A and B are shown apart, each in its own frame.
Chain A
């Protein structure tokens, strides 16, 4: 989906003023990031927090892909894909992280019969 968008954007670039610029992506990334952050800050539910984390990661992904496009998009004779590769890694990492986190939450639930993170204070000094 993103790939198509990028191809599309590059093809039409020189012709018009009102096109999607880097700032749009950055704003999107920022919105996503802040949404994720707020989710983390405001949610008590561990699953919710996990979701917030996913949002933040994806905000970073948006930024990575956008930066890659705008940094290398005009290069002749090849397409630089390091931003996209990074994003894929992050997705994989997020999946792995989700798996680990869910395992932790499961244990947490087993111990506390809840997944409210406010209850996880046993390690407080």
Chain B
């Protein structure tokens, strides 16, 4: 087995060991020790990941001469697991496989997840120090890390699903960690149930996939369905036709898993509530890793998505990012702001995948993990300093008390706002610009091919949200750290906890340089590895970068792809004359130009506006809200667009009325049946009793009585008077003889 695979499996198993050990002896280990133990194991995991990354970059070869390594070939180690299905086109026919799939994406994700996990563990030792269930917290964290790493290393959709559910469970456990709080346990249930809705879609997609392929390993899926991006039906190796409509349904079904887990538009409601969990959990699970698992999933199934499915994904992502960004403006709880910011950024990633930017989506996933974990840990530090006050109206001026937190938080704000000049910027600058450029390219390409003008919304909304993002993040930072203290008592008692520093600084460094440490290179390697792997097995998939092209209206779809590969004159495409349909390359060029024109100053505008508006506290905002329409909008946004109320009245209401109906049915129909049956049994028992008493007993007693009567009757001649017997005897003999005599005589 190649070294990186061994190391990554080890990295996956370390947290599991931590989980098992802590589960049994965690309580005995006590407060700091169990935390150190969990941190040590995840640290080992991180070390393994780093070692695996180095080894991966160096590359190597298998005994059969096949080379693996960055940009060469992935490592695919499938194992036969469950003997079901009639797999087509893979080595293990008739088996559901589990396996390990290591490519550059896996390695990058491992490094990111283990790094963030380690930092969050370290942070948690300080943050949770006074919690009475300290060991249990690290137990759950261990289980979560294991599940998340298992999800990333999984080489089959089945494994993805299994670990998918496991991370969901950990999320549930950790949101409800302070289950004494009603809000926390409610939020945990809400998260679980909402995810269930999404997972149902996942199961449908998974079922379609398994039914048609018989096996669900990632390479098989790509190999057989890799041309789905063309939007044409696929002929399976066994001769059956996999229709495009079914492919779309499958893609959307699998995507629905991501909708639940990554808190996309219809199912986003659980994530803000999940902030009831401890803040390190919010940082690790609900910002950096688990919620990004949905994006990772879509990234993994990306080649089998049809254009229709991708358009659907793009629309959902676009809706989500816009909606969440708007809601984030009006929130007052610092963690709620960050939660909606997370939803919005996840929307960016999902939309990026939808418009065909595999690179952009996953790049943003990794950079976002760093700065969002930093933001959450920063908020955790603030909350810790503020003695668990989370409302921003109570903050203000805290940078003087907790400077490290304030500065690192501001770095994260700069990163999420996409701060950068020209070619150099914070991590978010690169990833977000990639996404918006691709969205612009998609929109311009689609419209130039005669598509509806509405395609431009897929560019305009993310662009606008780039401004809004900078604004609301700055608002959050300004209200917390700048200006005058609004709650003097809280301000006076605020203090920075030393153990919380390290992770913050570490993440701040990553937030600054996350865009230039080669993540993009690794992702490009990942694409090449997959392509190489499939090419070796005789399949070319329709490409990660250009998979969306065939969604274009009319018959241009497939033609544009051809042009894009043949055309090798980028300069000539710089100024297309109006009216001519753009080529792919021109569109990409156009997209980049649009980004430079429209997005490059977003962070300045947003940050500037945020600071100007909120430096004096809430006074300007209050004056604005006093204007009626703005006030209404503010109310609307403050109440999160009334989604909770809507869902409550619709789904919960319907469920409750259904349950009332069911209760009525139970009480009157079912109970009626049961009671009626009992009544009938009782009546028949009475009847049987009567029968027993009068008929059976009557017969038995009757027999006795009869015998007694007969006995009495027969007994009466038995007087015991011997002379009477003799008389009777004599009379009888005499009569008999007389009879005989008469008989003889009369003859």
Contact = CB atoms under 8 A, between A and B. Distances in A.
Given A125-B714, A125-B715, A120 B720 contact: yes
Nearest to B724: A41
B714 A117 contact: no
B668 interface: no
Contacts of A42: 723
A17 interface: no
B569 interface: no
Contacts of B723: 40-42, 44, 117-118
Interface string A19-42: 000000000000000000100111
Interface string A106-125: 00000000000110111111
B747 to A, nearest CB: 22
B730 interface: yes
A124 B199 CA distance: 96
A117 B724 CA distance: 11
A37 B734 CA distance: 12
Contacts, number: 33
B718 A124 contact: yes
Nearest to A121: B720
B727 A41 contact: yes
Nearest to B718: A125
Contacts of A125: 711, 714-716, 718
A92 B378 CA distance: 140
B720 A124 contact: yes
B566 interface: no
Most buried by A among B716, B720, B727, B730: B720
B743 interface: no
Most buried by B among A121, A123, A125: A125
B726 A121 contact: no
B590 to A, nearest CB: 130
Contacts of A44: 723
B709 to A, nearest CB: 14
Interface string A34-65: 00010011101000010000000000000000
Interface in A79-125: 117-118, 120-125
B719 interface: yes
Given A118-B723, A121-B720, A125-B711, 19 more contacts: A37-B730, A40-B723, A40-B726, A41-B726, A41-B727, A41-B730, A42-B723, A49-B722, A117-B722, A117-B723, A118-B721, A120-B720, A120-B722, A121-B719, A121-B721, A122-B720, A125-B714, A125-B715, A125-B718
Interface of A: 37, 40-42, 44, 49, 117-118, 120-125
Interface of B: 711, 714-716, 718-723, 726-727, 730
23 contacts: A37-B726, A37-B730, A40-B723, A41-B723, A41-B726, A41-B727, A41-B730, A44-B723, A49-B722, A117-B721, A117-B722, A118-B722, A118-B723, A120-B720, A120-B722, A121-B719, A121-B720, A122-B720, A124-B715, A124-B718, A124-B720, A125-B715, A125-B716
